[in-house]
């Protein structure tokens, strides 16, 4: 991404470039051990247009770095390489399979006079290892969600199949990586939970039970409202990556029809169905269509004996979404989908309006919303719960934050600090811009607060954060 900086007073225009993906490759050093066969090691390489020898050279460097690091830490592999121009992130998700992501450092291009080529200044301290390391791990998890492990592809169809699968998945997935807007939330990879009163929560639970009872093919169910999770029958780590897929990819792609209103041509299926607002986000777009196909994406989740392959049905009514997962060995028919539509559609529509109502009441009780003096991010490692008042609504393309990127990076720095020592800690810093940033780590929970009270002192900041903890996290103990 290119941004023109406002420093134009001198008439010299500086161009500022945000970090971007230079290359992304996957290799296995055991596949081409002999000289002259190096190309066989490479399973995937983006951009594919790169000349063969250069690919081999770059993979060679990674191998050398990994090998060299073993001289000093045989058990802990190299995770990143910093150079003046870029950073490379290494991840070995399965034995001998290495994923490498190369990110160019942000840079400033300063034009020179007299037709000389512009000076490029790399900003080497801007990229946080923890953030982009997490992005690479996420890439693998997402691949695994839809394809299972590399090892399984190898078993099923050898290197050729694996190469094919990698090509198919990453070609599209890499285009959805928005490296310039990655931050602390990527490190956490948490799930945002929808706060709900007991009654409504029980209603949802009984809805889930009823559907699972009536449609016994359904193995697992997840329920979301407003892109936030309410109920999930999946293991945490599976839900985490599924949640990531739903909220950053599937939902944003389908959000337009709801916003478009009833008469919009964008939602033709509504015309024939006035009983409810339910519709399939995966599978058939219109049940009435005689040509409709009843194919759903397949996902892989962890099971006792390795993995389990499932159909993923995502069904949405207004802001409520239900995910139903059914064993992949079952073939899904028109009849089943119609049954599901007629059972779930009306109920989900009702639930959605119930939750909406409840939500507005609660908001009214908690008082009028005014711009608070603070913004925060909370994460709980135990249940992966995350909450951020810093991030605006996530869209498919960008993740907007309401604070200066430098402050976000300070949060990242504090998070690195916390990760180093396994004990409770609190850090309070004052940035050069006079913002206060507070980080608290207690047990498995982390809280980060940015305060815009420039004239406050340490004691006042502490009081402010105490108040915040009391109102937002009244049942959570934080080290004082």
Partner 1 sequence: MDGETATGTESWEDCMLAPVDRLRLERADSPTPGLVEGTEPGAGQRSAMFVQAQSFEDLTSEAEEEAQRSAAEENPEGPDEGEYKVQNHDFSSDSRTKEEDVSSEAWRSHKKHVFVLSEAGKPIYTRYGTEEALSSTMGVMMALVSFVEAEKNIIRSIHADGCKVVFLTKSPLVLVGVSRTSQSDKELLRELQYIYYQIVSLLTLTQLNHIFQNKQNYDLRRLLAGSEYLTDNLLHRLERDPGLLLSAVTCLPLASCSRDAVSSSLQAAKAKNLVFSILLAGDRLVTLIRKKDQFLHHIDLHLVLNLVGSSSSFREGEGWTPICLPKFNTSGFFHAHISYLEPASELCLILVSTDREDFFNMSDCKQRFLERLSKRCAYQSLKEALKCPTYPVSQVGIPDLRHFLYKSKSSGLYTSPEFPDVYRSGQEQERLMGLYQDLHSCLHHPTRPLRSFYRCGETENLLAWVTSGFELYLCFSPLASKASAVAAVNKLLKWIRKEEDRLFILSPLTY
Of residues 360, 457, 470, 471, which one binds partner 1 by CB under 8 A?
Answer: 457
The whole-angstrom separation of Cα 287 and Cα 342 is 11
Q: Which residues of 401-426 are buried (b: 16+ CB within 10 A; e: fewer)?
A: bebeeebbbbbbbbbeebeeeeeebb
Question: Site residues for partner 1, window 96-135 (CB under 8 A)?
Answer: 123-126, 129
For residue 76, the minimal CB distance to partner 1 (Å) is 4
**Alpha carbon separation from 89 to 128, 264, 316 (Å, rounded):** 11, 46, 37
428 binds partner 1 (CB under 8 A): yes
Site for partner 1 in 25-64 (CB under 8 A): 61, 64
Q: What is the DSSP string of 14-62?
A: PEEE--EEEEEEEE-GGG--STT-GGGGEEEEESTTS-HHHHHHHHHHH
Q: Which stretch binds partner 1 (CB under 8 A): 13-21, 186-194, 280-288, 412-420?
A: 412-420
Binding span for partner 1 by CB under 8 A among 16-24, 290-298, 379-387, 421-429: 421-429
What distance in Å separates the CA atoms of residue 318 and residue 321, rounded to the nearest whole number? 8
> Between 127 and 162, whose beta carbon lies closer to partner 1?
127
Instruction: Give SS3 for 225.
Output: strand
8 binds partner 1 (CB under 8 A): no
Closer CB to partner 1, 124 or 212, in the complex: 124
Using CB under 8 A, which of the segments 12-20, 143-151, 313-321, 425-433 binds partner 1?
Answer: 425-433
- Asked if residue 479 binds partner 1 (CB under 8 A), the reply is yes
- Which C-beta is closer to partner 1: that of 244 or that of 440? 440
Rule CB under 8 A: say whether 430 interacts with partner 1: yes
434 contacts 170 by C-beta, under 8 angstroms:
no
Conformational region of residue 122, where left means phi above 0, alpha means psi within -120 to 50, and beta covers everything else: beta
172 is an interface residue for partner 1 by CB under 8 A: no
Q: Which residue has the tokens 């605006």?
A: 392
Nearer to partner 1, 79 or 219 (CB): 79
Task: Give the DSSP per-residue string, 282-345.
Answer: SS-S-TT-TT------EEEEEETTEEEEEEEEEEEETTEEEEEEEETTSPP-HHHHHHHHHHHH
Q: Does 458 bind partner 1 (CB under 8 A)?
A: yes
Nearer to partner 1, 356 or 428 (CB): 428
Q: What residue ranges bind partner 1 (CB under 8 A)?
A: 61, 64-65, 68-69, 71-74, 76-86, 123-126, 129, 406, 409-410, 413, 417, 420-421, 423-434, 457-459, 462, 479
């Amino acid at each position: 991404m290119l941004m023109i900086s406002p420093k134009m007073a001198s008439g010299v225009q500086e161009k500022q470039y945000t970090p971007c993906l230079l290359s992304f490759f996957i290799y296995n050093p055991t596949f081409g051990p002999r000289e002259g066969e190096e190309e066989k090691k490479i399973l995937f390489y983006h951009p594919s247009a790169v000349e063969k020898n250069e690919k081999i050279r770059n993979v060679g460097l990674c191998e050398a770095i990994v090998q060299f690091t073993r001289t000093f830490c045989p058990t802990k592999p190299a995770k990143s390489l910093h150079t003046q121009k870029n950073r490379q992130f290494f991840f070995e998700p399965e034995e001998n399979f290495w994923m490498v992501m190369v990110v160019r450092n942000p840079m400033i291009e300063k034009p020179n006079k007299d037709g000389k080529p512009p000076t490029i200044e790399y900003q080497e301290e801007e990229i946080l290892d923890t953030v982009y390391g997490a992005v690479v791990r996420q890439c693998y998890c997402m691949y695994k969600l839809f394809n299972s492990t590399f090892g399984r592809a190898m078993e099923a169809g050898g290197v050729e199949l694996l190469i094919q699968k990698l090509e198919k998945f990453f070609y599209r997935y890499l285009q959805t990586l928005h490296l310039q807007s990655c931050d602390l939330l990527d490190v956490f990879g948490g799930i945002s939970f929808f706060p709900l009163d007991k009654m409504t929560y029980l209603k949802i639970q009984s809805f889930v039970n009823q559907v699972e009872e009536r449609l016994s093919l359904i193995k697992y169910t997840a329920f979301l409202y407003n892109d936030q999770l309410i109920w999930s029958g999946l293991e945490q780590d599976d839900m985490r990556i599924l949640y990531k897929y739903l909220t950053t990819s599937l939902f944003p792609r389908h959000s337009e029809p709801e916003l478009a209103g009833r008469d919009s041509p964008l939602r033709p299926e509504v015309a024939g169905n006035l009983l409810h607002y339910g519709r399939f986000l995966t599978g058939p777009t219109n049940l009435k269509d005689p040509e409709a196909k009843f194919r759903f994406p397949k996902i892989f989740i962890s099971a006792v004996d390795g993995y389990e392959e499932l159909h993923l049905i995502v069904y949405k009514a207004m802001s409520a979404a239900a995910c139903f997962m059914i064993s992949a060995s079952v073939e899904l028919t028109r009849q089943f989908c119609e049954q599901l539509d007629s059972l779930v559609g009306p109920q989900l529509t009702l639930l959605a309006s119930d939750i909406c109502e409840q939500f507005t009441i609660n908001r009214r009780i908690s008082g009028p919303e005014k711009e608070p003096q603070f913004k925060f991010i909370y994460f709980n490692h135990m249940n992966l719960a995350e909450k951020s008042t810093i991030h605006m609504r996530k869209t498919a393309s960008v993740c907007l934050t309401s604070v200066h990127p430098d402050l976000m990076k300070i949060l990242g720095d504090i998070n690195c600090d916390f990760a180093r020592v396994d004990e409770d800690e609190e850090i309070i810093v004052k940035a050069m811009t006079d913002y206060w940033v507070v980080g608290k780590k207690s047990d498995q929970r982390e809280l980060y607060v940015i305060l815009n009270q420039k004239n406050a002192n340490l004691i006042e900041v502490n009081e402010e954060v105490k108040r915040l903890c009391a109102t937002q996290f009244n049942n959570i103990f934080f080290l004082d």
